[in-house]
């Protein structure tokens, strides 16, 4: 099966657990880490998601370091995706352990709500987004914060899906489709296959975006990009359309993570709307926009391009 998948130009992933059992009740890798890693390498696996069920009295740092060492010893490059739901704050210690780590509990197919299962909760898109506050300084090329998979195409409204995808790209998050790719609507395809939006997520600078202001349910986000460009996003969290005036000069700031500055007082950027795929002038003057309900306005601000 791995050979077949590779023949299509794709990668193959597999799932296991640091505990005695997986979250689905199957045998976990506890006590068999090197055996499992060697098996994955022999099978031609490219990606391991390593979960955290049935881990009573197990130390997460030791458990994930152990599987990291096992994967390295197996001799095949395998992307190591850690999933202990952010309980031990892996962003503070896992830079040299995993390639990505979940920062929260499971995502839920809802734009703005919480699903209470009793002993645990799953979270809507906005709740997951809020949980990323303060984590951007820990991520970068080769070690990423993972706010969980995308729910795009699973039944939310198109505007909500567009906002969801946009914000995950602003977060430089791993883009993992959680929908059935065999049955995608044209609207879903237009979202998950928008190369200009994906380019923000995959930008080589590898720096997460940051929220710089909030006004009347509108959040203002910036993401530094390689070459001095910026991604700019207005997120409308409310259920009604909002008018917003972008006063560029109010957003002169130095980003401590990327060491880049917006310099709107010195630099004029060309504005490209990444969802309409149209040029919208430049940043010399304030710009009045309408942000649809539970949707975004997403721009790439470019230097020296027309």
Annotated active-site residue 254? The verdict is: no
Q: Is the pLDDT of residue 305 over 70?
A: no
* Residue 304 pLDDT level (bands cut at 50, 70, 90): confident
Report the pLDDT averaged over residues 95-121. 96
Rg of the chain taking only CA atoms, in angstroms: 21
Residues 6+ apart with CB under 8 A from 291: 218, 234, 235, 236, 241, 242, 243, 244, 297
Report the pLDDT averaged over residues 207-236. 98
State the Cα–Cα distance between residues 302 and 213, nearest whole angstrom: 21
Specify the pLDDT at position 116: 94
Model pTM score: 0.96
Angle among Cα 266, 267, 270 to the nearest 5 degrees reads: 155
Cβ neighbours, 10 Å, residue 175: 16
Annotated active-site residue 203? The verdict is: no
CA nearest 83: which of 50, 117, 57, 54? 50
Q: Is the pLDDT of residue 123 over 60?
A: yes
Per-residue pLDDT tens digits for 58-97? 999 999 999 999 999 999 999 999 999 999 999 999 999 9
Report the pLDDT averaged over residues 143-152. 98
In sequence order, what DSSP letters do the residues of 139-189 get, joined into one string? -BTTBEEE---B-TTSSS-HHHHHHHHHHHHHTT----B-S-TTS--HHHH
Domains for the chain: give ranges and CATH numbers: 2-201 (3.20.20.70), 210-303 (2.60.40.1180)
Specify the pLDDT at position 306: 47
- Out of 36, 46, 51, 203, the active site residue is 51
State the Cα–Cα distance between residues 282 and 269, nearest whole angstrom: 5
For 31, 32, 36, 147, 257, the CA distances from 209, given in Å and listed in that order, are 39, 39, 37, 13, 10
């Amino acid at each position: 099966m791995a050979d077949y998948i590779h023949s299509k130009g794709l990668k193959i992933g597999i799932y296991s657990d640091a505990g005695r059992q997986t979250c689905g009740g199957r045998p976990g890798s506890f006590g068999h880490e090197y055996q499992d890693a060697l098996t994955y390498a022999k099978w031609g696996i490219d990606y391991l998601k390593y979960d955290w069920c049935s881990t009573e009295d197990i130390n997460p740092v030791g458990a994930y370091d152990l599987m990291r060492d096992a994967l390295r010893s197996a001799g095949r490059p395998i992307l190591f995706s850690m999933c202990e739901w952010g309980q031990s704050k892996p962003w503070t210690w896992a830079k040299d352990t995993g390639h990505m780590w979940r920062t929260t509990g499971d995502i839920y197919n809802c734009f703005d709500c919480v699903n209470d299962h009793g002993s645990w909760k799953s979270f809507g898109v906005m709740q997951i987004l809020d949980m990323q506050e303060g984590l951007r300084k820990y991520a970068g090329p080769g070690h990423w914060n993972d706010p969980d998979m995308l729910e795009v195409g699973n039944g939310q409204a198109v505007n909500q899906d567009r906002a969801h995808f946009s914000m995950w790209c602003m977060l430089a998050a791993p883009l993992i489709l959680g929908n059935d790719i065999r049955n995608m609507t044209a609207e879903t395809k237009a979202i998950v296959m928008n190369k200009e939006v994906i380019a923000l997520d995959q930008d080589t600078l590898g720096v997460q975006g940051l929220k710089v202001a909030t006004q009347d349910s509108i959040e203002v986000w910036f993401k530094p990009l390689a070459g001095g460009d910026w991604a700019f996003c207005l997120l409308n969290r409310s259920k009604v359309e909002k008018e917003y005036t972008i006063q560029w000069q109010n957003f002169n700031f130095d980003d401590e993570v990327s060491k880049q500055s917006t310099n709107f007082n010195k630099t004029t950027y060309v504005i490209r709307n990444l969802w309409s795929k149209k040029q919208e002038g430049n940043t010399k003057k304030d710009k009045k926009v309408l942000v649809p309900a539970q949707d975004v306005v997403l721009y790439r601000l470019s230097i020296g391009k027309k």
